[in-house]
Homo-oligomer: A and B are copies of this chain.
Amino acid sequence: MQIRTVKDLGAIIRDRRKKADLDQADLAQKVGVSRQWINEVEKGKPRAEISLILKTLDALGVVINIDGERPDKTGKAAQPKTVDIDSIIENARRPKQ
What is the interface of chain A, defined by CB distance below 8 A to chain B?
Answer: 1-6, 9, 12, 20-23, 25-26, 45-51, 53-54, 58-67, 69-70, 74-79, 84, 87-88, 91, 96
Residue from B65, B75, B79 in contact with A3 in the complex, judged by beta carbons closer than 8 Å: B65
Minimum C-beta distance from A39 to chain B (A) = 15
A-B contact pairs, 16 of them (CB 8 A): A2-B64, A3-B64, A3-B66, A12-B66, A21-B88, A22-B91, A46-B51, A47-B51, A48-B50, A49-B50, A50-B53, A61-B69, A62-B66, A62-B70, A63-B70, A64-B64
Contact of A54 among B5, B62, B78 (CB under 8 A): B5
